[in-house]
Amino acid sequence: MTMDSTALHADLTSGDVAYPLDPLTGEEIEAAATIVTDSEYATPTLRFVMIQLAEPAKRPELTFEGVTDIPRQAFITAYDPAAKALYEAIVDLQARLITSWKLIPGRFPSYLVEWMTGVEEKVREDSRWQEAMRKRGVTDFDLAMIDPWPAGYYGPQDHYDNSPLVCRPLTFVRAAPSEHGYARPVEGLIVTFDLGKMEVIDVEDHGAVPLPPKAGNYTEKFMFDEDNRPAFTEFRSDVKPIEITQPDGPSFTVDGWKVQWQKWSMRVGFNPREGIVLHEITYTDRGEVRPIIYRASLSEMVVPYGDSSPTHWNKNVFDMGEVGMGFSANPLTLGCDCLGEIYYFDATVNDSSGNAVTIPNAICMHEEDYGISWKHTDFRTEEVEVRRARRLVISMICTVGNYEYGFFWYFYNDASMEVEVKLSGVLTTGAVPDGETPRWGKMVAPNIYGPNHQHFFSFRLDMSIDGAGNSVYEVDSIPEPDPALNPHHNAWITRETLVESEAAGARDWDWKTGRYWKIANPNKYNELGSPVAYKLTPREMVPVMVQEGSYIYDRARFVQHNLWVTKYDPAERFAAGDYMYQSADMQGLPCYIADDAPLENSDLVLWYTVGAHHVVRPEDWPVMPCAYNGFHLKPVGFFDGNPALDIPPSPPAACHHH
């Protein structure tokens, strides 16, 4: 069942008042663009990169409930290719005024939407590219698939002052229309493309490698490849339907963008850069609404490649900061992307002319059964008590070129939270001649290899554990250090280390001590006399292969530590900085901690790095099964006991047996 989400957005023309954190409506996006277009700042070549809500300043109360006098404002990023100038603007939508217009010198914007398709058309027309394709036996250029990869950074020639805004497209060739193009990478061909002038600057050809012979199809449309070999023989016949039903409807309620589920409450948001943003996450404990996180979102991601060959070494893409997760969000499909009693949120973004573009069903929300929450059998009385766990799922799935990224926020009825990243899609591939083995990757099919690479995601968590005054402790489990207290050599303790200031705020996990991080409120205590707290625990940890001396090292310093802790600053939103396109300098988190602000009993932000280490397998081809990673947030002394005691027993009719 799909629940209607078409009435989510407030209509300013009808007199409705939007909540201050609600995303901009389509009408607001277009109104903001019109105000700029009609202003003295407009030029014939000005383009809108992103138009999104200018979020109001955080209030001490950590909520805007009951507040009605905050003006709706739009934050605009605009780029003028003719002037090679990037601007930031704040537009007051009620007053229809531009309250701030600022030139951002020395920076380039993220992708404009039309570049994703416009680059492909222009590259196909270039005679140098066509000549290189003929050398490889390709004459039907319409079968070429050209991905406009962000430029990365080659060296000083790519610096803003003496470089155009460029991308470096990669070429693949389909064997037939709609066929799997990534199965035929054009190795050794590097195109440099001027995004300002929309023309090819240069074509480098490092030598032709034969196109791989085998198709990589994965749908029934291409049951057989060009040699009449089956991609797969037939669909499995023993997969029986699973139906998820909630006869009384879901347990959550939705009011605009506000979601309440059991004891959880939060406000869902969305913007072109971050995609899903969650605000005002609270939990009601015995009638008291207790804040946990003020704002949570993906902050940045980067995909560094570990291949030194000419076509691959410079691939270090910031898919969020250089492209935009919100722009990349999929319209989700009931029964495929999401299963069960679903509530969809539509998302609204902008095109470069300032028109509103709706992504239907961009955010999926539903409930899932999650096995046993708790159970105990009293073997003396044979009394059994068991409760089933349930979780609320808020998710989006983004396609960036060849890859799919799923971002899942889970809320459990034991007051814990989880963030999970699911990685799928298609490998970006390279080609090798017959008999050659790639040094910096693994073969996935004849003459096709997947380069070694990693994915890193930084999540920004503006914490508010029972209020804004929080402290972070690093908690290690160690053997009892006093030999006199450990005569049997079995005792161990936990050691808590306060993260006192930002200079010490970059932290690393240690498997030897089972390390986790505790976020405590030193102003609030549980009945045992301990500060109330949540703890952050990792899932799978990933070694960082980005090496000092590489261009990507400084550009993506956030990957060098698992956790960063900073003092709240509304200007510090993105782990690698606001604008990293074609920039070699260090931005983001290393700069945020440079002032060494004190962190104890303060308004804190946690930045947690999730990594995926990808040494590819043949089983990842032609489309990759989901890989998973993430982290947990669990109460540790936040409550006076198990918060899931009040989960009602499941009725016997809900269980089936044969």
Residues marked as catalytic: 319, 403
> 10 Å Cβ neighbour count for 337?
16
Write the DSSP symbol of residue 133: H
Q: How far apart are CA 33 and CA 356, in angstroms?
A: 10
Q: Report which of 174, 424, 147 is spatially closest to residue 311, judged by C-alpha positions.
A: 147
Q: How far apart are CA 73 and CA 53, in angstroms?
A: 6
Q: How far apart are CA 581 and CA 188, in angstroms?
A: 24
Q: Report which of 476, 475, 480 is spatially closest to residue 492, judged by C-alpha positions.
A: 480
Structure tokens at 46: 């000005």
Q: Measured at the alpha carbon of residue 591, what is the angle toward residues 585 and 596, in degrees to the nearest 5?
A: 155
Is the peptide bond prior to 446 cis by the omega test (within 30 degrees of 0)? no
Q: Find out whether 463 and 290 touch, Cβ atoms under 8 Å.
A: no
Q: How far apart are CA 115 and CA 196, in angstroms?
A: 10
Q: Report which of 582, 614, 255 is spatially closest to residue 428, judged by C-alpha positions.
A: 614
Q: How far apart are CA 531 and CA 645, in angstroms?
A: 22
Q: How far apart are CA 369 and CA 413, in angstroms?
A: 11
Q: Report which of 120, 165, 166, 163 is spatially closest to residue 143, judged by C-alpha positions.
A: 120
**Helix, strand and coil percent figures for the chain, each rounded to 5:** 15, 40, 45
Q: Report which of 609, 273, 630 is spatially closest to residue 456, judged by C-alpha positions.
A: 609
Q: How far apart are CA 115 and CA 46, in angstroms?
A: 15
Question: b/e map of 227-265 (b: 16 or more CB within 10 Å)?
Answer: eeeebeeeeeeeeeeeeeeeeeebebebeebbbbbbbbb
| Residue 448 CB partners (closer than 8 Å, separation 6+) | 183, 185, 212, 214, 216, 429, 430, 431, 432, 621
Token pair 């509103």 is at which residue?
356
Write the DSSP symbol of residue 136: T
Structure tokens at 641: 């006991």
Q: Find out whether 611 and 627 touch, Cβ atoms under 8 Å.
A: no
108: left (phi over 0), alpha (psi -120 to 50) or beta: beta
Q: How far from chain centre, in Å, is Cα 195?
A: 25
Q: Find out whether 518 and 280 touch, Cβ atoms under 8 Å.
A: no
Helix-helix angle 115-125:127-135, to 10 degrees? 70
Q: Find out whether 276 and 269 touch, Cβ atoms under 8 Å.
A: yes
Q: How far apart are CA 144 and CA 262, in angstroms?
A: 51
Q: Report which of 536, 479, 525, 514 is spatially closest to residue 640, judged by C-alpha positions.
A: 525
Q: What are phi and psi of 638, to 5 degrees?
A: -70, -30
Torsion, Cα 34 38 41 43, to 10 degrees, reads 90
Q: How far from chain centre, in Å, is Cα 181?
A: 25
